[in-house]
Structure 1
Amino acid sequence: MLRALFLSFALLSASAAFAQSAELDDATVEQRTEDISRTLRCVVCQNQSIADSNATLAEDMRRLVEVRVRAGDTDDEVRAYMQTNYGDFVLMSPPVKPTTYLLWFSPLLIVGGGLIWYVMSARKRAAEATETELGDEDLSAEEQARLQKLMDENASS
């Protein structure tokens, strides 16, 4: 019995020693945490990564990333965990899927709509300018008669 207890204690001690050797050193953890944090968006600031943000929530998110890195998660696993908790918007480059179409394509729609509006306005202004240049109200009766005669000749030929 004493041997079994001693053997169990020895195995537990050895597994703890092996676990410590498998842990990451602080420099590696800091570097990975920094790299991952640059790919995650601060949900408060919305235009900064959590690495650049000073918001309290960003600090909490950085700590959470560090905890996940120390737990042995890969970079992709940490991002997936954050995406699950905070949604697709937390990723600086969210995936293209139906729920994120607005994020990806709204800038194109805004620019395209503005371009269409500009072209239509320019055409309308050009048509109005041409119409006022060719208007009959500025012509005298003699000029109008001469214009009508030229138009009739052109139509007959």
Structure 2
Amino acid sequence: MRALLAIFAVLLLSLPALAVRPDEMLSDPGLESRAKTISEGLRCLVCQNQSIEDSDADLAHDLRVIVRERLTAGDTNQQAIDYIVARYGEYVLLNPVLAPHTLLLWIAAPGVLLIGGVVVLIAARRKRRIATDVPLSAEEAAALQELEER
């Protein structure tokens, strides 16, 4: 039973490796390596958070073929990426570009983290101040005086 589970786990983990079809692969290993590098940075528009290199969707297949066609036509990596972005928009990039229109994407998470840290710090100081500003009642003062005398 364990051997069967191990085989199933290995097959399940190797599914992304089956996404690139043999008929897509280029005969030149250098171009194929470049195509793989580019494809790992492009988002599958069907799967959303999966690269086209790992996706087995038909659109991902089409995008992988386009990338390979552009590279065999003599495009540089950036020209191939620019071609895909011009056709499908910047959303196709897994890592957004740093530009004025994407600045909010880059500063939102650190900004929220910073604001949250400041709020927690202010709340902790306020709580500490409130706890120390309360005067002792008569019974508490007497109990404290009694403890100090011991």
Q: TM-score, normalised by structure 2?
A: 0.63
Supply the distance in 2 between the matched residues of 1:39 and 1:48 (Cα, whole angstroms). 9
Q: List alignment gaps of at least 5 residues for structure 1.
A: 1-24, 144-157
Across the aligned residues of Structure 1 and Structure 2, the Cα RMSD in angstroms comes to 2.4
Give 1:150's aligned residue.
Answer: none
Structure with bigger helix share is 1
How far does residue 101 in structure 1 lie from its aligned partner after superposition?
0.7
1:117 matched to 2:119? The reply is yes
SS at match of 2:115: helix
SS at match of 1:53: coil
TM-score (norm 1): 0.61
Aligned length: 115
Q: Does the residue aligned with 1:26 lie in a helix, a strand or coil?
A: coil
The 3 A distance-change label for structure 1 pair 55 and 129 is farther
Can you list the C-alpha shifts for 1:104-130, whole angstroms capped at 9, x where unaligned? 111111211211221122122112211
Gaps of 5+ in 2: 1-25, 143-150
Percent identity, please.
37
CA contact (8 A) 1:68 1:78 kept: yes
Query: Which of residues 64, 74, 77 is equivalent to 2:76?
Result: 74
Change (3 A) 1:110 1:59: farther
Q: 1 CA distance for matches of 2:104 and 2:57?
A: 26
Moved runs in structure 1, 4+ residues, more than 6 A? none
Which is higher, the Rg of structure 1 or of structure 2?
1
Matches within 5 A, 1:1-150: 26-28=27-29, 29-131=31-133, 134-135=134-135, 138-139=137-138
Tell me, in whole angstroms, the C-alpha distance in 2 between the residues paired with 1:32 and 1:113: 41
